[in-house]
Structure 1
């Protein structure tokens, strides 16, 4: 919602100020389709040239992700901590039973209790692969921590491809605006024999290209890339919580302490309170 408010505010302030200062929208509206065709078309072409098919394929969905905001809420973090508590407790008490759950999470009653978490393949695979490795005696906490850090870092880099591509586009848009403006000047110079009022409109139309390139770059595309980066980083914090709790489990800490280590790794604005997590865990312990 805030993204749409930001876009509306940007347009209202820029064009409202221009009109209030006595500017004429007619010149801009007349040149806008042609300038937008040149600048937008060149930007789209360079975007396709500089990125692979996977990045291009995920561009629209990632832009929508920037507007939707972070995927995980405080309640989701608490659910993840409860899930990890159940799995780590089972790993201590009944490793054979745990294998049935991690080999087929979709059929596990433990995982099924958290449908939103079960729908995130990255998070579930991170949990099951780590627990499976521990069951195969790959349980050195420091080696596993390094493995998880590299895996999460790789997932983060892959997820940030679109935001980096959008930032590169934002960096290129002012230059593409200059290209469109120069072509407008070339067109004007070819009509140098026209009266001043005609030349003035033609020069004004050419300058729309410079304006449009800068406006799109710093008013829309760059902020969108920054917003997407922030959303991706916050969503990746969810994986850091999983890593922290699992590593604490490999260090043979008490299960409740493992959950607390994971809770402390969550960002402050989505971190569930100690009391709410303890209350949820108490309910789980009461369940036969």
Structure 2
């Protein structure tokens, strides 16, 4: 929602200021310039990005415009979920976690947290982190390195759309110059048509330059930065899982492992320690009356 508000402010400030200065907004509607600039930008994006990255760009942009970052309540639920799993593993043995990671859709613990269960990437990351612990195929001190490697790969993949959006943003001013030069060529070819026609075609050429710069700095580059911020939020969520699972695998008590994970979060989304502790102690846990 905030992205849409920002876009509206940019449009109103630009067009409103132009109108207040005595300009006619309709003068900016030169369809040929829009076709050149946005057509070239789209072609550049297709040339530069493999198909799967192109799909990621669409998904990431839609998420940046209409999605929202994980809030404190989301992390609160994540920490409670982790605590429940850790307590189960500590009291009943790690093998007790097998049914929850082999069929998460039927897990009585995971089903209590539908938002987490519905998010495939979050769910799979947790399951992949717990599975080698349950199976005993890896030493606890090796698990953290394994999860760090996976996080690094995910972070690199998530940044591909950012780099391509920045490429488009950096190219748009140059594309605007191309559109302007094409407009000037048309203008020079119509000098004999009189000053009115020449003036209209010069205005169209200048509109091309304006569109290129305006689109780059008003929309594409800020949108790329928002996608990057969303990626950082996603990595923070997964890193919270990594810190908690690695701590538990090394022998930390469930509540301590969750506390370490809580402290890894930014202050804007970090649950309060006392509030979280009270919520964890009130959870109905296995073997607890």
Do the two structures share a fold, i.e. TM-score over 0.5?
yes
What does residue 67 of structure 1 align with?
A: 65
Normalised to the residue count of structure 2, the TM-score between the two structures is: 0.93
The answer to whether the 8 A contact 1:244-1:262 is kept is yes
| Structure 1 moving runs of 4+ over 4 Å | 285-288
- Rounded to whole Å, the distance in 1 between the matches of 2:125 and 2:197 is 65
| CA deviation map 1:221-242 (0-9, x unaligned) | 1111111111121122111110
Unaligned runs of 5+ in 1: none
**Which shifted more, 270-279 or 51-60?**
51-60
| Cα RMSD for the two superposed structures | 1.7
- Rounded to whole Å, the distance in 2 between the matches of 1:278 and 1:189 is 75
**Which shifted more, 132-141 or 11-20?**
132-141
- Rounded to whole Å, the distance in 1 between the matches of 2:225 and 2:41 is 18
What does residue 96 of structure 1 align with?
A: 95
Normalised to the residue count of structure 1, the TM-score between the two structures is: 0.93
- Rounded to whole Å, the distance in 1 between the matches of 2:66 and 2:22 is 37
| CA deviation map 1:97-138 (0-9, x unaligned) | 221111111111011111111112222222222221112334
**Which shifted more, 251-260 or 63-72?**
63-72
- Rounded to whole Å, the distance in 1 between the matches of 2:279 and 2:16 is 52
Change (3 A) 1:71 1:16: closer
What does residue 77 of structure 2 align with?
A: 79
What does residue 34 of structure 1 align with?
A: 32
- Rounded to whole Å, the distance in 1 between the matches of 2:255 and 2:45 is 49
What does residue 142 of structure 1 align with?
A: 141
Cα offset, 1:194, TM superposition: 3.2
| CA deviation map 1:125-167 (0-9, x unaligned) | 2222222111233443432111111111211222232222211
- Partner secondary structure for residue 253 of structure 1: coil
**Which shifted more, 202-211 or 49-58?**
49-58
- Rounded to whole Å, the distance in 2 between the matches of 1:61 and 1:163 is 12
What does residue 42 of structure 2 align with?
A: 44
- Rounded to whole Å, the distance in 2 between the matches of 1:160 and 1:37 is 29
- Partner secondary structure for residue 192 of structure 2: coil
The aligned runs of 1:244-263 (5 Å cut-off) are 244-263=243-262
**Which shifted more, 116-125 or 175-184?**
116-125
- Partner secondary structure for residue 225 of structure 1: helix
The aligned runs of 1:1-288 (5 Å cut-off) are 1-29=1-29, 31=30, 33-94=31-92, 95-285=94-284, 288=289
Unaligned runs of 5+ in 2: none
The answer to whether the 8 A contact 1:70-1:234 is kept is no
The answer to whether the 8 A contact 2:83-2:258 is kept is yes
The answer to whether the 8 A contact 2:78-2:116 is kept is yes
